[in-house]
Structure 1
Amino acid sequence: MPNATYTDAGSGDTLVFLHGFAESKQLWTDFKKPLQQKFRTIALDLPGFGNNTTGGVNYSMESMADHVKQQLDNLGVDKCILIGHSMGGYVSMAFAGKYSSMLNGLCLFHSSALPDTDEKKDNRNKTLEFVEKHGVEKFMQSFVEPLFFADNREKLRSKIDLMKKIGTATLKESIVGGLAAMRDRPDRTDILKKAKFPVLFIFGKEDGAVPMDKALEQCHLPNNSMVYFLGKTGHMGMFERTYETRKAIEKFAETIYG
């Protein structure tokens, strides 16, 4: 189905991939192919993004987590490792708060359990005003490139263009709704502290969205955590350090599933 809101490939224990803000399941297309040799891999379009654009979306992280739960129920998944990039990680944390019994493990892929700081909330509000005034396409022209570490941008020009294309195709209401939902999400560090499942953190040392001090503030909180810091890497490790980030997820899954 060309308009499917998910991809489902491979067999075995299940890995579920959630994309970030102004992204889609297409983010994971090449990344997860080698993992399909060992695992069942599912990538979802979150409500309002990619092909999942049918009416009346509630953009809160809790509502998106409910959607993920419903999709996994429909696909017959009762246990999985959830891998969330950026906003997808925020959704994963909401999911962990509501449906922790479904999680064998959780990966925060350039993401955080911390809420927005006051400064970041102000920046979200300024971005909202910009999008309302100038539209999605103009926003994407300035939004995507800084997600990549400066030294990686030229060689990854095709990936930057891909992310701009995906972002530009996103509905304005989804951009606005997603920004507001990220701004208003709560602190979920308690969920990390209480987690009965292992947590993998993947951080880029040059990631402006999840700075190193914020990374260090939370990666020790779970009882069982694995942490991967990547030098010369921004917010898009699946493109900037494909082999290393994929291997990290594969090893994490093998540790859990044996």
Structure 2
Amino acid sequence: MKNKTTYTSAGSGDPIVFLHGFCESKEVWTDFSKPLQQKFSTIALDLPGFGDNAQGIADYSMEGMAVYVKSKLDELGIKKCILVGHSMGGYVGMAFAEKYASMLSGLCLFHSSALPDTDEKKDNRNKTIEFVEKHGVEKFMQSFIEPLFYSENRDRLQKEIALMKEIGTSTPKASVTGGLAAMRDRNDRTNVLKAVKFPVLFIFGKEDGAVPLDKALEQCHLPDNSMVYFLGKTGHMGMFERTYETRKALEKFAETIYG
């Protein structure tokens, strides 16, 4: 039986902490982070409600998850780190930056955003919550996962799509609906981006339906110090779709910060 733990830690050196997205788990970073462990210490967390951290969650809000991340970093003795957040993990990263800026050496928004949901997106979240309540998580995953990947990449990434479906399907219904409501209700944190003193790395897919190009351009210039990477023929899952390029971008970002 698999030994369950709410985080993984490997490598040595300055810390890079990874936060997964909605209906994902720390597993999405397993292969991606391995080469980075030659230079850095990598920590991947299961956010409250997901992966091996799915039991007894009372607060799915981005602020609540940020408090959890802080408590985990304290527990691990990490006083300062680069935080990498994919999608919903980036929303948590922004909430963390608002509350605990002094703990961040840098932040990577990996297919993520500081902007709030539009009214249209909020409406879609509500419809999705209704669908999951009525039809269940497994049925939802059948239509949710594949569109996260750019259409031309899906054939070669069947193994990764299957992994995502497996992780998603094992997510409790309460976490799916709780996560959707929390993302719907999250705050606009563009002012946080304007205020931060640490560098911010943005990684965007040009074919990403979740973070469209115009929304990416609205925010990537806001921090005092930002690095921006736009990837063609890439959807929402750059860690799988463009593993080498996104990892190299993150490595360069970390080396710039840590020296």
| TM-score under structure 1 length normalisation | 0.99
Q: Give distance in 2, aligned partners of 1:128 and 1:93.
A: 24
Stretches of structure 2 lacking an aligned partner (at least 5 in a row): none
CA shift, 1:54, in A, is 2.4
Give the letter for the 1:151 counterpart. E
Residues 106, 199 of structure 1: 8 Å contact kept = yes
Q: Which residue of 2 aligns with 1:152?
A: 153
Q: Which residue of 1 aligns with 2:240?
A: 239
Q: Which residue of 2 aligns with 1:63?
A: 64
Deviates more, 1:181-190 or 1:55-64: 55-64
Q: Which residue of 1 aligns with 2:164?
A: 163
CA RMSD of aligned residues (A): 0.6
CA shift, 1:251, in A, is 0.1
Pair 1:37 & 2:38 matched? yes
Q: Which residue of 1 aligns with 2:9?
A: 8
Q: Give distance in 1, aligned partners of 2:63 and 2:252.
A: 29
Deviates more, 1:1-10 or 1:108-117: 1-10
Q: Give distance in 2, aligned partners of 1:56 and 1:159.
A: 28
CA shift, 1:136, in A, is 0.0
Residues 48, 57 of structure 2: 8 Å contact kept = no
Q: Which residue of 1 aligns with 2:140?
A: 139
Give the letter for the 1:112 counterpart. S
Residues 19, 44 of structure 1: 8 Å contact kept = yes
Q: Which residue of 2 aligns with 1:90?
A: 91
Aligned to 1:155, the other structure's residue is in SS state: helix
Give the letter for the 2:188 counterpart. D
Identity percentage over the alignment?
78
Give the letter for the 2:165 counterpart. K
Stretches of structure 1 lacking an aligned partner (at least 5 in a row): none
Q: Give distance in 1, aligned partners of 2:55 and 2:229.
A: 37
Pair 1:106 & 2:107 matched? yes
CA shift, 1:2, in A, is 1.3
Residues 157-236 of structure 1 mapped to structure 2, 5 A cutoff? 157-236=158-237
Q: Which residue of 1 aligns with 2:118?
A: 117
Residues 114, 188 of structure 1: 8 Å contact kept = yes
Q: Which residue of 2 aligns with 1:130?
A: 131
After superposition, what is the alpha-carbon deviation per residue over 1:155-203, rounded to whole angstroms, capped at 9, x for unaligned?
0011001000000000000000000000000100000000100000000
Q: Give distance in 1, aligned partners of 2:58 and 2:47.
A: 10
Pair 1:248 & 2:249 matched? yes
After superposition, what is the alpha-carbon deviation per residue over 1:210-239, rounded to whole angstroms, capped at 9, x for unaligned?
000000000000000000000000000000
After superposition, what is the alpha-carbon deviation per residue over 1:93-152, rounded to whole angstroms, capped at 9, x for unaligned?
000000000000000000000000000000000100100000000000000000000000
Aligned to 1:33, the other structure's residue is in SS state: helix
Give the letter for the 2:220 counterpart. C
CA shift, 1:57, in A, is 2.7
After superposition, what is the alpha-carbon deviation per residue over 1:28-71, rounded to whole angstroms, capped at 9, x for unaligned?
00000000000000000000000002213300000000000000
Aligned residues: 258
Residues 48, 57 of structure 1: 8 Å contact kept = no
| TM-score under structure 2 length normalisation | 0.99
